[in-house]
């Protein structure tokens, strides 16, 4: 059986927002029963459609541990209710997944479902739902927020860097399966003087690359293009520099000659980054999380988000 203990911290503002964070810990109070191994045994890492990492463990064909992270938001008039849950717990003897089917329903206070299918090739996909329920109090009304989405996972290896790159590659290949089609082999690594790259080839001539700079790229029609997402943790300055250099590489003839390197500044407590050009224009990663181009008195959105 599984024992839960939960800590919920909530800050709510009437007619403004309800921000809530839930942490669930579970203590195992029984020793796991001995069981035979299965093709799904091991530690799985996953990424959700919200871009958050989750993990779970399969032992003897049973899902014995899960750690997830979900957020839900709802708005009614001028009042917004937002709840986040970071949940980790151990199950004894565990939920049977010997057929590859995963189906969990847990956390009565904030009902959560986690469903999907494990494949013998070490990949998995599924869906989830999360409902946050605030009981209110102290003059603050109760509120409920529900969200749902998908998740993609791989069976991780002892090489965590490779696993993280392979997970992001698999996630993008599932999201854009119609474009990429059928894989050719597995994810391979290539090391150059610039660092190590991880690449997945496809039979239609396309490819997905986890770059040494931490960004994800895809190959199509003779050129590499950015997904504008990262597969590993990098600093804001490195993130912005890579984004600006990528944009510059695509529109160098229009943007002109760089004037110095990327510099930073602050505005209303936020940090921005800017690349100036000799023609008076500049690319700026603004404090709202988006990149813009300025020239001749006009601000032009680049359609690229550098932070959430």
d(CA 197, CA 178): 24
The pLDDT assigned to 29 comes to 39
4 preceded by a cis bond (ω within 30 of 0): no
SS (H, E, C) 238-254: HHHHHHHHHHHHHHHHH
d(CA 174, CA 158): 24
d(CA 100, CA 38): 10
Average pLDDT of each block of 10 consecutive residues along the chain (308 residues)? Answer: 39 35 40 62 96 95 94 84 87 93 88 95 96 78 90 96 97 97 96 95 98 96 93 93 93 94 94 96 95 93 91
Give residue limits of the domains in the chain: 2-155, 160-230, 250-305
Cα distances (angstroms) measured from residue 270 to each of 28, 63, 181, 228, 243: 44, 43, 42, 21, 19
d(CA 129, CA 111): 8
Cα distances (angstroms) measured from residue 160 to each of 52, 148, 179, 232, 245: 17, 28, 28, 11, 28
Nearest to 58 by CA among 23, 90, 27: 90
CB 140, CB 125: distance < 8 Å: no
Predicted TM-score (pTM) of this structure: 0.79
């Amino acid at each position: 059986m599984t024992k839960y203990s939960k800590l919920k911290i909530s800050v709510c503002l009437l007619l403004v927002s309800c921000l809530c964070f839930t942490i669930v810990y579970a203590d195992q109070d029984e020793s796991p029963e001995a069981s035979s191994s299965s093709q799904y045994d091991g530690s799985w890492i996953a990424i959700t459609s919200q871009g958050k990492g989750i993990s779970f463990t399969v032992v003897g064909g049973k899902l014995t541990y899960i750690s997830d992270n979900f957020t839900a938001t709802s708005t009614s008039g001028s009042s917004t209710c937002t709840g986040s849950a970071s949940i980790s717990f151990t199950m004894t003897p565990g939920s049977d997944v010997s057929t590859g089917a995963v189906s969990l329903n847990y956390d009565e206070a904030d009902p959560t479902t986690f469903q999907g299918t494990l494949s013998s090739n070490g990949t998995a996909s599924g869906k989830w739902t999360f409902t946050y329920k605030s009981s209110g109090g102290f003059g603050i009304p109760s509120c409920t927020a529900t969200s749902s989405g998908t998740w993609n996972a791989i069976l991780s290896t002892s090489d965590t860097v490779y696993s993280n790159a392979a997970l992001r590659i698999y996630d993008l290949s599932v999201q854009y399966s119609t474009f990429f089609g059928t894989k050719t082999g597995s994810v391979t690594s290539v090391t150059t003087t610039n660092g190590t790259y991880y690449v997945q080839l496809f039979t239609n001539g396309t490819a997905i690359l986890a770059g040494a700079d931490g960004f994800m790229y895809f190959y199509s029609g003779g050129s590499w293009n950015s997904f504008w997402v990262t597969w590993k943790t990098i600093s804001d300055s490195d993130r912005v520099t890579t984004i600006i250099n990528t944009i510059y590489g695509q529109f160098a003839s229009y943007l002109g000659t760089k004037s110095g390197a990327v510099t930073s500044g602050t505005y209303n407590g936020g940090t921005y980054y800017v690349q100036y050009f000799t023609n008076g224009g500049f690319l700026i990663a603004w404090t709202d999380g988006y990149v813009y181009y300025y020239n001749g008195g006009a601000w032009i959105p680049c359609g690229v988000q550098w932070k959430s």
